[in-house]
């Protein structure tokens, strides 16, 4: 497996893709090579794109790839789609909108299923991002699943978090409720060719005015028509400004550590579930007639 | 947990996408991860995508009559790129008489119109394994 790491770091796509697979599947021993990979990370600018299903995240990602490529940057994309909770299967279709880049060797796109994870990403997402980072991608874009209100994991792992909305997605009350309102570094009102774009944009701006600023950063609301590529230059510009803002304010280090903590924390949870509270054992104890808290007590005692 | 990953692709100008959609859904419902890339893919794009996605198999759907050139081309490109461990199967409007030549070229299975989707699921379960390190 260490051979795979070496090959991946030398830019071999097959090897990188296989490492992603082994991590995504949580295959025996994947942590061994991920330790090597994580040591080589920290160079890529990580952009998160989140928002409601069908709001245009993939179309926007496609446009961003084009802009970054023409600026000479290499790009990785991790595109996440939902896994069926009943069958465990998934149709991963985000790539359909990024087809123009499939032959560009400096663009690595990987589709991932959520596989039961609830935060809008898969548990493996950051490992896959790390592999792309280690392989030398300058920018890595994470497209989350289409989210509702609560899937805010992206905010903990991305350097720049873009929240995409569309005109007429409901009144302002709904947006205030939404947890995803608070995680945006940049707001995008996509499909602004549609009626109500101005109103949605103004509503958002008004709400932002009464929201306390984080780190003295001003969240702007930008309008785009991703299908036609309009407004994308302004978005790229704003992303740059955010990236620089972070570097100048030494917030980059904090973000980096936040990300590592998040990944470590996820790994801890996985380990505890696997080693101490395996679902089969929980099932068995419940079937014996135990209540949930007694079940935990019994399992906990067993490890001591 | 290991999961079988399959790229479902529509090569060329063939716009018939019902079959590939029906089949993609059936494979999802059988618990596989299906990557669907949409219409009008070149063999080169299909192979590049298959490699990035580290799929175990490529399913090509062809109703345009281009099967005799597309299947061998995809197999040839996979070989060129060192990815011959990816199995290639497919379906669509493909005359019985053309099938032996495709098998000879290395295609693992062809499903013609009317095949129950379960047959494809069975084929995958019997023949495709998630790749290892
Ligand atoms: C519906 C249809 C259309 C629709 C397509 C709508 C759509 N979005 O799909 C429309 C009206 C748009 C259309 C247009 C044309 N069509 Co048309 N069409 C058909 C028709 C009647 C049915 C196809 C279909 O949807 N079947 C239902 C699906 C579920 O079945 P299926 O695709 O065969 O898939 C099954 C299996 O083949 C298999 N399978 C298929 N793919 C895969 C992939 C994998 C991985 C696996 C495991 C299995 C698998 O599993 C599926 C389930 O059993 C067929 C005739 C026929 N009986 O097949 C002609 C047919 C395919 N069309 C034909 C032609 C010529 C055309 C046109 C060129 C006509 C014209 N002159 O304008 C255009 C071309 C359009 C284009 N851009 O490609 C010819 C093709 C001839 C050939 N191959 O030599 C056919 C065979 C009719 C004929 N007998 O002449 N068509
Ligand atoms: N009118 C209009 N449609 C757009 C625009 N941008 C994207 N779309 C369309 O919106 C639909 C959904 O776009 P996607 O990019 O797939 O949206 P998504 O957010 O990635 O969707 P999920 O990943 O399924 O959540 C597609 O049909 C796009 O063509 C736009 O600016 N205007
Ligand atoms: Mg999408």
Domain boundary assignment for chain B: 5-124
CA pair distance A204, B102, nearest whole angstrom: 57
- Do A197 and A269 fall into the same domain? no
A77: which strand partners?
A109, A141
Q: CA A197 to CA A279: how far, in whole Å?
A: 47
Pair (A36, A49) in one structural domain: no
A112 and A232 share one domain: yes
Cα B86 to averaged position of ligand 1 atoms, centre (Å): 26
Q: Which residues of chain B have pLDDT under 70?
A: none
Give the ligand at the shortest distance from the Cα of B128.
1
Q: Which of A88, A96, A115 sits opposite B37 (nearest CB)?
A: A96
Of A249, A272, A288, the position where a domain reaches its end is: A249
Same domain, A113 and A127: yes
Q: What is the pLDDT of residue A254?
A: 85
pTM of the model: 0.95
Q: The tokens 């998630």 sit on which residue?
A: B130
Please report the pLDDT score of residue A67 as a whole number.
98
**Ligand 1 atom 23 nearest Cα:** B16
Residue A206 distance to chain B (closest CA, Å): 40
In this prediction, residue A173 carries a pLDDT of 47
Question: In CATH, what is the architecture of B5-124?
Answer: 3-Layer(aba) Sandwich (3.40)
Q: Is B118 on the interface with A (CB under 8 A)?
A: no
| A45 and A35 share one domain | no
Do A152 and A3 belong together in one domain?
A: no
Instruction: Please state, in angstroms and rounded to a whole number, the distance separating the CA atoms of residues A206 and A212.
Output: 12
Q: Are residues A165 and A239 in the same domain?
A: yes
- Measured by CA distance, the residue closest to atom 88 of ligand 1 is B93
**What are phi and psi for residue A21, nearest 5 degrees?**
-65, -45
Neighbouring residues of A202: CB distance < 8 A, sequence distance ≥ 6: none
- A40 φ, ψ to 5°? -100, 10
Per-residue pLDDT of chain A (304 residues; tens, 9 = 90+): 569 999 999 999 999 999 999 999 999 999 999 999 999 999 999 999 999 899 999 999 999 999 999 999 999 999 999 999 999 999 999 999 999 999 999 999 999 999 988 888 999 999 999 999 999 999 999 999 988 777 789 999 999 999 999 997 665 545 545 577 788 999 999 999 999 899 889 988 988 888 888 888 999 999 999 999 999 999 999 999 999 998 888 788 888 899 999 999 999 999 999 888 999 999 999 999 999 999 999 999 987 6
Q: Is A152 in the same domain as A283?
A: no
Please tell me the total count of domains within chain A: 3
Q: How far apart are CA A137 and CA A291, in angstroms?
A: 50
Residue A135 lies in domain: 41-249
Q: Is B17 in the pocket of ligand 1 (CB under 6 A)?
A: yes
Same domain, A29 and A126: no
């Amino acid at each position: 497996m260490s051979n795979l790491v070496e090959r991946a770091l030398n830019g071999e796509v097959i090897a990188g893709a296989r490492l992603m697979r082994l991590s995504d599947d949580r295959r025996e021993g994947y942590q061994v090579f991920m330790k090597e990979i994580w040591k080589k990370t920290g160079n890529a600018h990580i952009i998160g794109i989140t928002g409601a299903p069908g709001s245009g995240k993939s179309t926007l990602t496609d446009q961003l790839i084009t802009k970054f490529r023409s600026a000479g940057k290499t790009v990785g994309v991790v595109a996440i789609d939902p896994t069926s909770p009943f069958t465990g299967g998934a149709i991963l279709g985000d790539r359909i909108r990024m087809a123009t880049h499939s032959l560009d060797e400096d663009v690595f796109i990987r589709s991932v299923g959520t596989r039961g994870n609830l935060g809008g990403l898969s548990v493996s997402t950051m490992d896959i991002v790390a592999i792309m980072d280690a392989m030398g991608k300058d920018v890595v874009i994470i497209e989350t699943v289409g989210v509702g209100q609560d899937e805010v994991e992206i905010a903990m792992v991305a350097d720049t978090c873009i929240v995409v909305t569309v005109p007429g997605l409901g009144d302002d009350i709904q947006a205030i409720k939404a947890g995803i309102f608070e995680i945006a570094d940049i707001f995008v009102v996509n499909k602004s060719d549609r009626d109500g774009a101005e109103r949605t944009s103004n509503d958002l701006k008004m709400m932002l005015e009464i929201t306390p600023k984080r780190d003295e950063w001003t969240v702007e609301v930008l309008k785009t028509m991703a299908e036609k590529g309009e407004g994308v230059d302004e978005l790229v510009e704003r992303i740059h400004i955010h990236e620089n803002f972070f570097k100048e304010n030494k917030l980059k280090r904090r973000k980096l550590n936040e990300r590592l903590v998040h990944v470590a924390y996820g790994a801890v949870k996985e380990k505890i579930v696997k080693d101490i509270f395996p679902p089969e054992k929980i099932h068995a104890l419940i079937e014996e007639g135990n209540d949930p808290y007694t079940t935990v007590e019994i399992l906990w005692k067993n490890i001591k | 947990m290991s999961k079988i990953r399959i790229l479902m692709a529509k090569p060329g100008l063939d716009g018939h996408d019902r079959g590939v959609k029906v089949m993609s859904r059936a494979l999802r419902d059988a618990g596989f991860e299906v990557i669907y890339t949409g219409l009008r893919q070149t063999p080169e794009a299909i192979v590049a995508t298959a490699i990035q996605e580290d799929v175990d198999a490529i399913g090509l759907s062809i109703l345009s009559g281009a099967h005799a050139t597309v299947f061998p081309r995809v197999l040839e490109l996979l070989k060129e790129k060192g990815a011959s461990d990816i199995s290639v199967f497919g379906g669509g409007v493909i005359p019985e008489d053309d099938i032996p030549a495709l098998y000879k070229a290395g295609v693992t299975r062809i499903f013609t119109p009317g095949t129950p989707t379960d047959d494809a699921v069975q084929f995958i379960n019997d023949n495709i394994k998630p790749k290892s390190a």
